[in-house]
Amino acid sequence: MLVTRTFTLLSFLALASCVTSTLAQEDEPVALVGAEWLVEDIASRGVIDRAHTTLIFSQEGRLTGNTACNKYFADYRFTESELLVGDAGATKRLCAPAIMDQERQFLTVLHNVRRYEIDDTDALILSANDGTTIVARRSMIDKTVYECADGSSIQVSYPTSDTARIKHEGRTTDMTITPSASGSRYSGEGLEWWAKGRTDGTLSPHSEGESIGSAPGTRCTAR
C-alpha cells in the first residue's frame, strides 16, 4: 500500500509539473500581445525623430507594424527559451535615404531576434543572436473611436502633430496633414480624414490622382 501511495503521489507531482510548464510557455507571450510597441532604439543607434517604427504581436502568432516607411508583417513563435521571428514581408514605398537605412537595420535585427525581456522600466528589449537589440515601449498615444453614419467604426490616433493613424475595417492607414481652410485634414493611401476637433470628422476616399477628396465622405462622431 505504501508503494502504491508513493507512486500515486509521484505521478501527481509529475503531472502538475508538466501542466505548470505548459502554462508557463502559453503565458510567456501574454505581456507582448495586444499592445502597440513604439521603437526607441535600433542596434544602439537610436531612431530618427518622428520616424515611428512599431511592433504589434497578435495572439495568432502574427507580428505587424510600421518600419517608419513601410508596413511589414511576419510570423513569430516561442520555443522553450527563444522568441523566433520569421521572414518579414513589407510594402514597397520609397522614403528618404536615412529612413530607408533605418528600415533595413530594423528588419535585419528583427529577423535575427532570439529572445526578449521586459525590464524594470517596462521597456521591451528584443535581442538578436549577434547581440544587437531593438528597444521599444508601449505606445502612449491617445486613441479615439468614432461611430460612422454607414454603421462602421474607426479608431483614430495622432502619433505626431502632423500625422494621423486610422484603423478602419481591419486596415491601418498612416496619414499626413494637408492644407485645410478649417479643421485638420489628413490624407494617405487613398483615404482622407477631416477632423473637426476630437468630436467629429469625415472619412472620404480619394479618386485616382486626387490630393483632396471630391466624394462627400462618411460623417463620424466620437463615442
CA distance 157 to 82: 33
Nine cell digits for residue 186: 489628413
How confident is the model over 144-199, as pLDDT tens digits? 899 999 999 999 987 766 788 888 888 888 888 888 777 788 888 888 998 887 78
82, 105, 138 - which closes a domain:
138
77, 108, 138 - which closes a domain:
138
Nine cell digits for residue 8: 500515486
Residue 19 phi, psi (nearest 5): -60, -45
pLDDT band at 29 (very low <50, low <70, confident <90, very high): low
Q: Do 36 and 131 fall into the same domain?
A: yes
Q: Do 105 and 63 fall into the same domain?
A: yes
Q: Report whether pLDDT(37) > 80.
A: yes
CATH code of residue 134: 2.40.128.270
Rg (CA), the chain: 23
pLDDT for res 142:
67
CATH code of residue 173: 2.40.128.200
pTM of the model as a whole: 0.55
Name the percent of the chain lying above pLDDT 90: 39
Q: Count CB atoms within 10 A of the CB of residue 9.
A: 10
Instruction: Judge contact between 183 and 195, C-beta under 8 A.
Output: yes
Q: Do 34 and 127 fall into the same domain?
A: yes
What is the overall mean pLDDT for the chain? 81
Nine cell digits for residue 88: 518579414
CA distances from 4 to 9, 13, 16, 17, 18 (A): 9, 14, 18, 20, 21
Q: What is the tally of structural domains in the chain?
A: 2
Q: Do 162 and 134 fall into the same domain?
A: no
Containing domain of residue 196, as a range? 143-222
Q: Do 121 and 196 fall into the same domain?
A: no
